[in-house]
Structure 1
Amino acid sequence: MADDAGAIARNDRAKEARERAYSTPLEDFNVAQVSHFTSDTHWPWFERLRREDPVHYCRDSEFGPYWSVTRFQDIVAVDSNHEAFSSAAENGGVMVADEYGPNDATSFITLDPPDHDAQRRVVTPTFSSAGMAAMEPLIRQRAAAILDELPLGETFDFVDRVSVELTSQMLATLFDYPFDQRRNLPRISDLALSQPEPDASPADLAARHAAFMPLVMPFIGLWDARKDGPPASDLISLLSQDPVTRKGDNPERYLGNVMLLTIAGSDTTRHSITGALMAFQDYPDAYDRLRANPSLLESAVPEIVRWQSPVAHMRRTAMRDVEVGGKTIRKGERVVMWYVSGNRDEAVIAEADRFIIDRERPRQHVAFGFGIHRCVGNRLAEMQLRVVWEEILKRFERIEVMGEPRRLRSNFVKGYEALPVRIVA
């Protein structure tokens, strides 16, 4: 890191976190603490759980009691078993914090079959291989334009100028959303997923809500304009016109799915673009090898997604007593699959704590989930990552990280709000 003081501070934090993780009794572990993620010190806590108690029960937390599933194979077992483990909002939803709500107002990620399958099927064609091939030239054109406008030799915010700008442009295209309002889309995601500061006052919470609602309301106008219009391929038209997601003239179900697609379409790509730059800072030889041989991006892109693990966890609720990793999880208990931990499981992924751009099996990761809830937009996320890094590699010999990132205040999405960088002139 160009900022040596920042690198020293990061190393000190990592050392202190390791000491705390290995001196804290396992019964006192609460890996869902948001501070672990905002400080990037969660790694040793999960390392110890994988080694000593891979299916761990936390009896007391701000979210209530929950099970942590931390090893790769156990995560796959839970994620693939939608009969025993529910995603439905009325059972608590997909985040460690409970999310109760009526079925009609929830997105398909917080539904179980058959409702989940019917709603997901409405948007799946948008993310087909043919759909991705049709979008790639536009993504490349926009990535090139964004990169060509970056300043040389001066510090700027990479998250704002590159990661947010590219993904907000792409989301606006997928939704056919007003292009001049595209920055609302990642803002919606951040407000929906970030947690308030611990000392937030009622006035602070009210201000968050007041800031959120004006961002969402334009989607109602788009619903009204398109629900009875001619068939079109944008996501808003698909959701507002299909009987499964339209459900009469009530836009609640549509809004739930719009929120899901806004968050999913923004976060995986946005935070992985930034996470890649952080990885290249620590592994500069990887960047040099890619510049010499850009074809290595075929394996480097899934390695970036594994390394960043932009979705830190998904939660399920046990619908019956079931055994996982030798532990009995009782009906009704909360089960958190920590993707961020499974992606560092050395029992399955060799040298999992190293960033290796030419892994033999680079897609052996759990970042996109498994089973019926596997990320519907994974092809789009990988294609955007590949294109933006192809264009970066063409242009810049080095992009230096100039200081510590500001991380999203969330234990659900592992992301970045800001990162100061400088392009070597």
Structure 2
Amino acid sequence: MHRTLDPPQDSRYDRARERAFALPLEEFDPADPELFRSNAHWPYFDRLREEDPVHYTSDSMFGPYWSITRYEDIIDVEANHAVFSSASALGGITLVDVTPDLRRESFISMDPPRHAAQRKTIAPVFTSTHLEQLAIGIRERSVECFDNLPTSEVFDWVGRVSIELTTQMLAVLFDFPFEDRRKLTRWSDLATTIPGPAGVVATEDERQAELEECARYFSRLWDARINQPPKSDLLSVMAHSPATRDVDPKNFLGNLLLLIVGGNETTRNTLSGSIYAVSRHPAQYEKLRKNPALIDSFVQEVIRWQTPVAHMRRTVLSDIEFRGKRIRKGDKVAMWYVSGNRDERVIEKPYEFIIDRERPRQHLSFGFGIHRCVGLRLAELQLKIIWEEIPKRFERIEVVDEPRRVYSNFVNGYETLPVRIAR
């Protein structure tokens, strides 16, 4: 079954599709970051779902690994903690292997029962009561941002809107010095980049040096929080919780980077992706403008359609027979959310952008099970408020050129998105 992209095919997609269906399966390497940067990964996953949904790549820049590409199979792997481990000591949650001395444990890279205690520490920040308080500031910042956008001239939506709004939100969550908030964006980019000519730094040493700066900066804030009465920001919550206040420095930085990346990448890239989506599907935008009650399902559809986190990795704890394949102890397994969210066995017309789907929450963008994104309600809230405000102001936001995408197989995101708002 050969699927096509929506938006309509162009010559680049045609070439990618030809390569994907001509290449022998034993040569498939769907984790190649260049496929994601060129937006050419889709036909590779289409073919894998049809012909080899549990696929072994024997040689890649990340070493050998398995790819899980169907929706239901991904859920089964996510749910089986006895065999498929997230533990940092075994490699953590991305295909990129780091040396043991550089591994930084976070609660998403822990298995039960250790995972629960640290995750539970963070959870109160995302209760409905606290979200109601945060919503006021989200709307105020969104309105101010949109009311100051230029009209009739091209600007970069990623830098002017997506990064700015998500970074402001992160600064609020951490009670971080507002004038330094763009440091959070930089640290998020560093945490997920692949060093090299296409990355945000050239070498791993450069990346580590800047991440150590992040640790030092937050250590100063942490020391201040410990000596203050408890507050509702993330740093204060962690500083005063028995589960997190005495963690080692690597666990401290690991949790910080997890929260920074989680708070930044999901909303930032879904917000950019939502503009790209409605520009390619103007009828869906008109549908939203005429019926604002569709906002909740609209938000879920853009989260599915964009899939801001492309994969999560697990490491196998013991030999297992899975869907007819023998996966051995120590093997790396990638659960490809970008593929599961395009699985036509579960999602009808998965390549189409449809804001009034019957089951809009049926997607894998936030993961599944105990590791499901702890801040998903905040991400949904922020996107909802933003998209409540956009149709009030803008009849059309025109994407004037193709976006430049991130060189990453983990973050499915945008570096730039040139747009123009009609006067």
Structure 2 gap segments, 5+ residues each: 1-5
Q: Which residue of 1 is the match for residue 109 of structure 2?
A: 110
Matched with 1:172 is 171
Alpha-carbon offset, residue 224 of structure 1: 1.2
Cα 1:419–1:216 change in 2 (3 A) is: farther
What pairs with 1:65-104 in structure 2 (closer than 5 Å)? 65-99=64-98, 101=100
Please identify, of 207-216 and 217-226, the stretch whose mean Cα deviation from structure 2 is larger. 207-216
Counterparts of 1:138-157 in structure 2, within 5 Å, are: 138-157=137-156
**1-side partners of 2:82 and 2:132: how far apart?**
35
Deviation at 1:295, TM superposition (A): 1.1
Mean Cα displacement is larger for which, 228-237 or 270-279?
228-237
1:380 to partner: Cα distance: 0.6
Q: CA deviation at 1:78?
A: 0.2
1:358 is aligned to 2:356: yes
Q: How has the CA–CA distance of structure 1 residues 134 and 203 changed in structure 2, closer, same or farther, with 3 Å as cutoff?
A: closer
**Cα displacement string for residues 67-98 of structure 1 (whole angstroms, at most 9, x for unaligned residues):** 00000000000011111110001111100112
Deviation, 1:251, is 3.8
Shift of 1:196: 2.5
Q: Alpha-carbon deviation of 1:10?
A: 7.5
Tell me if the contact between 2:7 and 2:280 (Cα under 8 Å) persists in the aligned partners.
no
Among residues 365, 373, 376, which one is paired with 1:375 in the alignment? 373
Matched-pair contact (CA < 8 Å) for 1:246–1:253 = no
Q: Is the 8 A contact 2:88 2:104 kept in 1?
A: no
Q: Cα distance, 1:408 vs. partner?
A: 1.4
In the TM superposition, residue 324 of structure 1 has moved relative to its aligned partner by 2.3
Q: What is the match of residue 40 of structure 1?
A: 39
1:244 is paired with a residue of what secondary structure? Answer: coil
Instruction: Describe the SS at the equivalent of 2:410.
Output: coil
The superposition leaves residues 284-308 of structure 1 with CA deviations (integer Å, 9 ceiling, x where unpaired) of 1001111111111111111100000
1:407 is matched with which residue? 405
Q: State the secondary structure of the residue aligned to 1:384.
A: helix
Relative to the length of structure 2, the TM-score reads: 0.94
CA contact under 8 A between 1:91 and 1:100: conserved in structure 2? no
Residue identity matched to 1:400: E
Percent identity, please: 53
**2:265 match:** 267
Matches within 5 A, 1:269-348: 269-348=267-346
CA offset digits 1:138-157 (Å, max 9, x no partner): 10111001100100111111
Contact 1:407–1:416, Cα closer than 8 Å, also in 2: yes
Deviations 1:329-360, CA, capped at 9 Å, x for gaps? 11111110000000000000011111100000
State how far apart, in whole Å, the 1-side matches of 2:42 and 2:104 are. Answer: 35
1:183 offset after TM fit, Å?
A: 1.1
Instruction: Render the CA deviation track for 1:108-128: whole Å, top value 9, x for unaligned.
Output: 011111111111010011112
1:197 shift after superposition: 3.1
| Larger deviation, residues 55-64 vs 129-138 | 129-138
Q: Cα gap change, 1:14/1:104 in structure 2, threshold over 3 Å: closer, same or farther?
A: closer
Between 29-38 and 124-133, the greater mean CA deviation after superposition: 124-133
Matched residue type, 2:420: R
Question: For residues 198 and 368 of structure 2, what CA distance do their matches in structure 1 show?
Answer: 37
Maintained 8 Å contact 2:340/2:364? yes
Name the SS of the counterpart of 1:346 in structure 2. Answer: coil
Name the CA distance, whole Å, in 2 between partners of 1:399 and 1:305: 19
Measured after TM superposition, the shift of residue 203 of structure 1 is 6.8
Alpha-carbon distance in structure 2 between the residues aligned to 1:105 and 1:17: 36
Letter in 2 for 1:169: Q
Task: Find the residue that maps to 1:197 and give its secondary structure.
Answer: coil
The answer for the alignment partner of 2:3 in structure 1 is none
Structure 2 distance, partners of 1:275, 1:323, is 37
Deviation, structure 1 residue 228: 3.0
Structural mapping, 1:213-252, within 5 Å? 213-247=212-246, 250-252=248-250
d(CA) in 1 for partners of 2:100, 2:292: 47
Q: Which amino acid aligns with 2:192?
A: L
Identify which range, 61-70 or 220-229, moves more after superposition: 220-229
Distance 2:370 2:102 in 1: 18
Aligned to 1:4: none
Q: 1:89, 1:103 within 8 Å by CA — same for their partners in 2? A: no
TM-score normalized by the length of structure 1: 0.94
The more displaced of 162-171 and 234-243 is: 234-243
Q: Does the 8 Å contact 2:86/2:314 carry over to 1?
A: yes
Quickly say closer, same or farther: Cα 1:206–1:251, change in 2 above 3 A.
closer
Alpha-carbon distance in structure 1 between the residues aligned to 2:46 and 2:159 = 32
2:415 to 382, 399, 417: 417
Shift, 1:377, TM fit: 0.6
SS in 2 for 1:63: coil
| Match of residue 3 from structure 1 | none
Deviations 1:352-374 (A, max 9, x none): 11110000000011111111100
Question: Could you say if the C-alpha distance between residues 129 and 382 of structure 1 is closer, same or farther in structure 2, counting changes exceeding 3 Å?
Answer: same
Shift of 1:8: 11
Give the secondary-structure state (helix, strand or coil) at the position aligned to 2:10.
helix
Alignment partners' CA distance in 1, 2:202 and 2:283: 49
Per the TM alignment, residue 240 of structure 1 is displaced from its structure 2 partner at its CA by 1.8
The question of whether the paired residues in 2 share the 8 Å contact of 1:68 and 1:335 is answered with: yes
Residue ranges of structure 1 left out of the alignment (5+ in a row) = 1-6
User: Structure 2 vs 1, CA of residues 308 and 203 (structure 1 numbering), >3 Å: closer, same or farther?
Assistant: closer
Residues 155-183 of structure 1 show CA distances to partners (whole Å, capped at 9, x for unaligned) of 11100111111100110000000011111
